[in-house]
Amino acid sequence: MKIYIHTKFEVAEVAIIKEQLAAKYTLSIGEEISPENREEQFLEADICFGNVPLAWAKKTTKLQWLQLHSAGLDPYQQLGNHTFQITNLKGFFGTSVAETAVAGILAMFRGVAYLSQLQTESKWIGTPLRSSLHLLSNAKVLVLGAGAIGQKVKTFLSGFNCETTVLDSKTVVNLDNYLPTTDILVATLPETPETVGLLNKTRLGMLKSSALFVNVGRGSAVDEEALIEMLQQNKIYGAVLDVTAKEPIPENHVLWHMPNVLLTQHTSGGWAEENLDKIKFFIENLERFEKGETLVNIANLERGY
Amino acid sequence: MKIYIHTKFEVAEVAIIKEQLAAKYTLSIGEEISPENREEQFLEADICFGNVPLAWAKKTTKLQWLQLHSAGLDPYQQLGNHTFQITNLKGFFGTSVAETAVAGILAMFRGVAYLSQLQTESKWIGTPLRSSLHLLSNAKVLVLGAGAIGQKVKTFLSGFNCETTVLDSKTVVNLDNYLPTTDILVATLPETPETVGLLNKTRLGMLKSSALFVNVGRGSAVDEEALIEMLQQNKIYGAVLDVTAKEPIPENHVLWHMPNVLLTQHTSGGWAEENLDKIKFFIENLERFEKGETLVNIANLERGY
C-alpha cells in the first residue's frame, strides 16, 4: 500500500511520519521529490494526505482515500464523480480558532490591542484609558455556526457568565431576532451558498452601536464595505477580523488603519503543535482505514463542510 | 448628617450622587470646591467617600466612616488610632482585573499583541505566524492570591479546561512545589510584608522556559531585574505586566521594547461604568450605615487589605 504525503511538513515532522509508517507502507513524501515528479507519485498512491491540485484528484484511478489537511473543501466540490473517500479536518481547528476569537474580544474590550500599539511608542497613558475599557462578563453573545468553533466559543465564554446563543445552519434564519440585543456577534460560518453575504448592510445595521463583531469563519459572510462604513461612523463598537474579503489584505487597504479594528491575519487556526496534531489525526484515521472502520470526518462535498 | 465626596467624578456622575443623596444629606463635593477649602469641608463631615490625604484623616474628630475608592489601603496603615470606620473596595475590581489577566494571556498565546503591532505597519505575515502561537486550553495555571481577582481568574479559565491552582495567603508558602510544572503563573497579590519580593530570582528560575508570567497584583511582588534578565535570555516565554516597579514606566525603560512582554499600564482595574459602580457601592453601604448594619468591606489595616 502506497501513501503519498502532499502536505508541506518540517523535516522533523516528516521524520515522525517515517518512523511511524515506513515499516508498513511505501511512503512518498512530496517535499522530498522535485515538484514535476509529484503528480506521478500521487497517481500511484492508494492513500494521500494533503490538498493536491484538483486536476490530479480528477485523474487518479488508484486512490482509495484522500485525507485533506484543511477543514475547508474548496476546490474539491468541483470534483464530480470520484471513487475514493475524502476526509477533512473538520473540528480540528475549533479550539484554536475559538481561542483567537475570545482573545480578540478581550483584546478589544480590555484595551490590549491599543496598549500593544502604545508599547511600540514607549508611550504611557495609564489611568485615563480605564474609562474606555469594557467587560466581557455578562455580555450577550450571538454565535453564528454551531460547528466545533462555535461550540468552543460558547464553552470558553461559560466562565464569563455570558448569555451565549449559538445558531446552527437551520436556526440561523432567525438571526434578525437576536441582532438588536447582541453585545458580541461572532461569525464562525463556513462558506456555503447560504452564508455568502448573510451579514448584509441591513443586518449589520440592526446591531447596537456598542456591539463588537468578530469574524473567524469566512470573509464572504459579511458585506465588508458596509462593515467598514459602519466602523468609520462608529455605528458599531469594533471588529475583530481573522478573515477578510482579500487575503493578504493589500498594503494600502483602509482596514489597516482603523483604530476600532483588530486584524489577526487568518492565523486563528494555528498553534505550535498544529502539524504534529495533524499527523496524529491522519495516523489515527489510517488505523481505522486499515481495520475497515468508518473514517472520521468524511467530507460532505454538497454541503461544503 | 454631612457627606464629603473627595473622589474625582465626572459632572454626570456627581449629578447622580446629588439626585440620590441631596434630599437627605448635606453634600459637599470636593471637585466643586477650590482645593484649599476642601480640608475644612472634610473635617466637618460625618461620612467621607474618597481617599483623602493621610494628614486630614489623622486630624478629623467628627468623621464616623471613611469609604475609600480603592482596594489598596496605602497610606492609611500609618493612620494610628482612629475612631471612624474605614471600608475599601476590596473585590470591586476582581472581574475587571481578572479579565485583563486572561486578555493578556490570550494576547500572548494567540499572537494578538504582536498582530496589533503589525497592524500599525500595514504588514501582513499571516500563515508563517501560526506555528509561533500557543493554546490556553488545558494549561496548568498557578494563581497567587485567593482574593476576588484570583477567584475570578480561576472561574474565567474554567471554560478552557485549565488545571488551575489558587494559593491563598496561608498556602502560598508551598509555591515552590508548583513552579516547575506551571505553564502560566498569575500573581494577584496585594502588597504586604509577606508578598514583597516573593517572586525572587530563585523562584523565577524554577519556571519552565515555556512559562508565561502575569502580574496584575503589585509590582513589588517580583524581582523585576531578575525577571527582565530571564525574559531577555528567553528563559521564560513571556510576561504580561499590569504593574511594575516604577509607574509610569520611564520612557527609556527596557521593558517597552521587549517583544515577549505586554504592558497593560495598570489599566486592569478599569471599565466604562467603573465610577458609576463605585457610586452604587457607596450608596448601598450608606444604606447599611443608616440602618446600623455592618458595613461591607471593613478594612483590616494591619493585614493590609
* Window B:148-187, CB contacts with A under 8 Å: 155-160
pLDDT in tens, B35-47: 999 999 999 999 9
pLDDT in tens, B178-236: 999 999 999 999 888 999 999 999 999 999 999 999 999 999 999 999 999 999 999 99
Residues B73, B179 within the same domain: no
Residues of A with CB below 8 A from B104's CB? Answer: 112
pLDDT recorded at residue B305: 75
Is A168 in contact with A137 (CB distance < 8 Å)?
A: no
pLDDT recorded at residue A303: 82
CB-CB under 8 Å, B157 with A158: no
> Nearest C-alpha of chain B: how many angstroms from A76?
22
The answer to whether A143 contacts chain B (CB < 8 Å) is: no
The answer to whether B107 contacts chain A (CB < 8 Å) is: yes
Closest CA to A263 of A117, A127, A51, A62: A117
Residues of A with CB below 8 A from B110's CB? Answer: 99-100, 103, 264, 267-268
Confirm whether B63 is domain-assigned: yes
* Window B:244-263, CB contacts with A under 8 Å: 247-249, 251-253, 256-257, 262-263
Residues B85, B105 within the same domain: no
Confirm whether A225 is domain-assigned: yes
pLDDT recorded at residue B72: 87
Confirm whether B151 is domain-assigned: yes
Is A210 in contact with A230 (CB distance < 8 Å)?
A: no
> Domain containing B254 — which CATH number?
3.40.50.720
The answer to whether A107 contacts chain B (CB < 8 Å) is: yes
Is B112 in contact with B143 (CB distance < 8 Å)?
A: no
* Window A:13-42, CB contacts with B under 8 Å: none
CB-CB under 8 Å, B117 with A272: no
> Nearest C-alpha of chain B: how many angstroms from A196?
23
Residues of A with CB below 8 A from B264's CB? Answer: 110-112, 115
Residues A251, A280 within the same domain: no
CB-CB under 8 Å, A132 with B95: no
Going by C-beta distance under 8 Å and a sequence separation of 6 or more, which residues neighbour residue A35? none
pLDDT recorded at residue B237: 98
Measured CA angle at A40 (ends A38, A44), to 5 deg:
115
pLDDT at B171 over 90: yes
pLDDT recorded at residue A304: 78
pLDDT recorded at residue A302: 85
Residues of B with CB below 8 A from A124's CB? Answer: 248-249, 251, 265
Residues A104, A249 within the same domain: yes
* Window B:215-244, CB contacts with A under 8 Å: none
pLDDT recorded at residue B11: 96
Confirm whether B66 is domain-assigned: yes
For range B237-266, the mean pLDDT: 98
Residue A147 φ/ψ, nearest 5 degrees: -80, -165
**Residue in B141, B160, B212 to test binding to A, most A beta-carbons within 10 Å:** B160
> What is the average pLDDT score of chain B?
97
pLDDT at B177 over 80: yes
Three-state SS string over chain B comes to CEEEECCCCCHHHHHHHHHHHCCCCEEEEHHHCCHHHHHHHHHCCCEEECCCCHHHHHHCCCCCEEECCCCCCCCHHHCCCCCCEEECCCCCCHHHHHHHHHHHHHHHHCCHHHHHHHHHCCCCCCHHHHHHCCCCCCCEEEEECCCHHHHHHHHHHHHHCCEEEEECCCHHHHHHHHHHHCCEEEECCCCCCCCCCCECHHHHCCCCCCCEEEECCCHHHECHHHHHHHHHCCCCCEEEECCCCCCCCCCCCHHHHCCCEEECCCCCCCCCCHHHHHHHHHHHHHHHHHHCCCCCCECCCCCCC
**Residue in B70, B156, B258, B279 to test binding to A, most A beta-carbons within 10 Å:** B156
The answer to whether B103 contacts chain A (CB < 8 Å) is: yes
CB-CB under 8 Å, A114 with B99: no
CB-CB under 8 Å, B126 with A271: no
Confirm whether A165 is domain-assigned: yes
Confirm whether A207 is domain-assigned: yes
Confirm whether A300 is domain-assigned: no
CB-CB under 8 Å, A270 with B130: yes
ipTM confidence: 0.91
Residues A197, A124 within the same domain: yes
Among B100, B130, B263, select the one facing A274 at the smallest CB separation.
Answer: B130
Chain pair A-B, CB pairs under 8 angstroms: 195
pLDDT recorded at residue B213: 98
Name the residue range of residue B38's domain. Answer: 2-92+271-291
CB-CB under 8 Å, B249 with A124: yes
Residues B84, B98 within the same domain: no
What is the percent of chain B where pLDDT is above 90? 96
Closest CA to B240 of B112, B129, B94: B112
- Tens digit of each residue's pLDDT, chain A (305 residues): 999 999 999 999 999 999 999 999 999 999 999 999 999 999 999 999 999 999 999 999 999 999 999 998 989 999 999 999 999 999 999 999 999 999 999 999 999 999 999 999 999 999 999 999 999 999 999 999 999 999 999 999 999 999 999 999 999 999 999 999 999 999 999 888 999 999 999 999 999 999 999 999 999 999 999 999 999 999 999 999 999 999 999 999 999 999 999 999 999 999 999 999 999 999 999 999 999 999 999 999 988 77
CB-CB under 8 Å, A158 with B270: no
CB-CB under 8 Å, B159 with A156: yes
Task: Say how far apart CA A172 and CA A161 lie, in whole Å.
Answer: 23
Residues A131, A257 within the same domain: yes
CB-CB under 8 Å, A256 with B99: no
Residues A82, A177 within the same domain: no
pLDDT recorded at residue A305: 75
pLDDT recorded at residue A299: 96
The answer to whether A110 contacts chain B (CB < 8 Å) is: yes
Residues A78, A136 within the same domain: no
Residues B230, B100 within the same domain: yes
> How many domains, in total, are found in chain B?
2
Nearest CA in chain A to B251: A122
Residues A241, A101 within the same domain: yes
pLDDT recorded at residue B304: 78
Cis peptide bond prior to A35, omega within 30° of 0: no
> Nearest C-alpha of chain A: how many angstroms from B208?
17
Residues B83, B140 within the same domain: no
Confirm whether A161 is domain-assigned: yes
The answer to whether A275 contacts chain B (CB < 8 Å) is: yes
